[in-house]
Each structure stands twice: as structure tokens, then as C-alpha cells.
A = this chain, B = another copy of it.
Amino acid sequence: MTPQRRVTLADIAAACGLSKATVSMVLRDNPQVHPNTRARVRAELDRQGYVYHRGAASLRRAGAVNAVALVVNDLANPFFAEFAAGVDAALAEAGHVLLLGSTGESVERQHAVLASLVEHDPAALILSPAEHSSAARLRRVLGARLPVLLFNRRLDGDGPGDWDYLALDNRAGARLATEHLLARGHRAIAFFGGHRDSSSCSERREGYRDALAAAGITPDPAWLIECAPTRQEAARQTPALFVRDPAPTAAVCYNDAVALGLMAGLAACGRRAGADFAVVGFDDIAESAFATPALTTIATEPRARGLQAARLVLARLRGELPASPHTTIAPVALQVRASTAAAPDSPLQSSVQARGPAA
């Protein structure tokens, strides 16, 4: 099925009775070449079905590399899928191409994937690092030449960090979520899901503590429940919320996947999310608006973050960013939907399905 030899600049040049240099200039729209020559070459290029070999070009001229690598945890996770879609859109618009890899949250796999991607000489890398990624080790695999933008998580052992960084405002988001539950009359509020040693989780927990502290509440350690940030694990861990009496009446979840899993877990133990127990997520993936009840959550706009990440990286490549590492904290907003009912003993109780924003 693939017999033919590749059509090369030399073929076109020979067919036109020109040198490769001239044909090369036509390809890059160099105005020096005569319009007639240009037209002849164009016709021949088309006739022979020439396809430009960017790898060969980049060998001679470094600027020709236009691939950007993106490494995320898992594409099947809608948060990352929406993020990747945004990155892809911005790159395609700029004429760049996307090299994709995924880590499955394993540093070993991350290592292998990056080592493989980097051999393809991407111009830059957008990396949402796996948990427990070490800065030193990453630097070894990536070399010192590749501009890197970290997304969403910091690295273990990376003090100030010398890579660009795009983060969500995790702390503010979790604070908003918690304040919303407080406003709806809840006092015993859990923080559910995630691993506290990931920077995103610990930042969210801080925001949660901030809000509780401001309300004069000290969180019971039993309210802090870890689990892998997946729907399945969250559903499985749900009973852990109710081992103590009195149990929490609401939970701030590490992310939407956890929140959705928790809602399933609540149903499985005979509780109605949004009526008997309030839940708020983090991310606002597309699905959350359609859940039953619709999920109150913190909107992070993953697709917009993807666009933003790609644009930061392109700006870095064009030298439009200051030489020092650049940190961007994306703002985040509370999205009130139906999953955050008022607390059972609250005067707000009558409106079982909260729909408007808390006063």
C-alpha cells in the first residue's frame, strides 16, 4: 500500500530545470523569485503531489519546528479532554501541531512518555504533571533546552520553580464553595476526595479551611477524606462520610468527578444528593450541568484554560514573555445549581432545591 518513493525538492527542481535552492525559496514565498518561475514551480509541486518535510527543514533551520507537546493525566477524564481540545484549537489556529501523551497519573509512565515525545523535538511542552513528579527527574528527561509550561500542579521539590506555570485559583475556589455551603446553613462540612500531597488538593483544602476559620469552625479531622480523584473511588468512599455521628451534612469535593461519584454513592446508601446532603464540585465539566441534581460547582473553564496554556507557550516561543518564569493564576467562579440544598436544621430548609445564588 505504500510503495512510492517520496517526492522531494530535487525532483521538482529537476522537472523545472531549476536548482533546489530556487524551489526552496518558492516554498517559503521568498519574493526574490520571479513570478513566472514561482508559477511554474507551484504547478509542478502540485502535479507531483509534493509534501513538505518539516523535519528536514528544521534540521537546517531551527525555527521550522512547530510541534508542541501536551502531556496530561488521562484523556478519558473530561476535564483534561476539554483542556486538550482548547490547546488543540489554539495551536491549530497558529499553524502548530499537537503531540499528545498521557501519564495515567504514574510517574514511571510519565517518564517514558516524555522521553519518547522529546525525541520528536517539540518546540515546547505543556505538562500537567502526575502526582509525586520530581522536578529534578523531569529536568533530566527533558533536558535544559525545552520551554515548559506546567499546568494545574506544582512539582515535588521545586522551590520557586524555573518553568512557566498556569494554575487555577484553587484556594479561592474552594473558599467560595465552602462559603456557599456555610451560607446555606451547613456547619459540618467535609472536604472529600483528592490526595492531600498534590498541590492542587492541598491548595483547595486551604481555601476550605480559610472559609471555615472565618466562620469560627474548626474542621473535625474525620471530615477530611482522601480518595483517588475518580468517580468510582468517590462512590466507593462515600460511606466514610457517615461513620461518625453527627455526620457532615455537606461536602466540598476535590473535583467534579469526585462530586459526581459521591452523588452516585449517596444514592447507593439511600441518600438524595441535593436534598439530604449538599455537594459542591470543582471544575464545571460539561456533564455537571446535566447531572441529577445539577451540580453546584466551581467553574474553571477547562477549554479556556487550554486556549490560554497554548497561547502562553506560543508567546514564550516568540520571546514575548520576560525571561524569568511566568506564573498565571486563572480566576474561578462559583456556579450555583441544584446540588446544594440548605442544611436540615436551617431556616432556609424550605427551598429544598437551591437554585439561586446564596445571598
At the interface, is chain A mostly helix, strand, loop or mixed? mixed
B55 touching A120, Cβ below 8 Å: yes
| Chain B residues whose CB sits within 8 angstroms of the CB of A52 once the complex forms | 119
Q: Which residues of B contact A55 (CB under 8 A)?
A: 55-56, 58-59, 120-121
Q: Does A333 contact B (CB under 8 A)?
A: no
This chain's copy number in the assembly = 2
B116–A97 contact, CB under 8 A?
yes
Q: Tell whether A143 pairs with B49 under 8 Å between CB atoms, given A55-B121, A78-B78, A101-B97.
A: yes
Which residue of the partner chain B has the closest CB to A54? B119
- Which A160-217 residues have C-beta < 8 A from chain B? 162
B145 touches A2 (CB 8 A): yes
Q: Are B143 and A51 in contact (CB under 8 A)?
A: yes
Binds B, one of A15-23, A34-42, A286-294, A344-352: A286-294
Complexed CA–CA distance, A88 and B58 (Å): 26
Question: Are A102 and B81 touching (Cβ within 8 A)?
Answer: no
Other A-B pairs, 5, CB within 8 Å; known A75-B84, A88-B101, A95-B116? A81-B81, A84-B100, A85-B102, A92-B116, A98-B100
Q: Is A4 part of the contact surface with B, judged by Cβ < 8 Å?
A: yes
CB-based contact A113/B92 at 8 Å? yes
A interface, how many residues as a size bin?
35 or more
B-side contacts of A140, CB under 8 Å? 49
Specify which of B51, B99, B303, B316 is in contact with A118 (CB 8 Å cutoff).
B51
A16-70: which residues lie under 8 A (CB-CB) from chain B? 49, 51-56, 58-59, 67
A269 at the interface (CB under 8 A from B): no
Instruction: List chain B residues, Cβ under 8 A from A7.
Output: 143
Chain A 65-96 per-residue mask, 1 if CB under 8 angstroms from chain B, else 0: 00100000011101001101100110010010
Of the candidates A119, A292, A303, the one having the most CB atoms from chain B within 10 angstroms of its own CB is A119
Please provide the chain A residues from 328 to 349 with a CB less than 8 Å away from any CB of chain B in the complex.
none
The answer to whether A97 touches B81 (Cβ under 8 A) is no
CA distance A104 to B307 in the complex (A): 15
User: Does A144 interact with chain B (Cβ within 8 Å)?
Assistant: yes
- A214-234 CB contact bits vs B (8 Å, 1 = yes)? 000000000000000001000
- Given the interface pairs A1-B147, A54-B121, A120-B55, the reply to whether A92 lies near B102 with Cβ below 8 Å is yes
Contact A76 B303 (CB under 8 A): yes
Chain A window 275-294, contacts with chain B (Cβ cutoff 8 Å), 1 for yes, 0 for no: 00000000000110011100
Name which residue of chain B comes closest to A261, CB basis. Answer: B290
Residues in B with CB closer than 8 Å to A316 are: 1
Confirm or deny: A264 has a beta carbon within 8 angstroms of a beta carbon on chain B: yes
Least distance between A244 CB and chain B CB atoms (Å): 28
Asked if B120 and A2 sit within 8 Å, CB to CB, the answer is no
- Say yes or no for A260: interface residue by CB 8 A criterion: yes
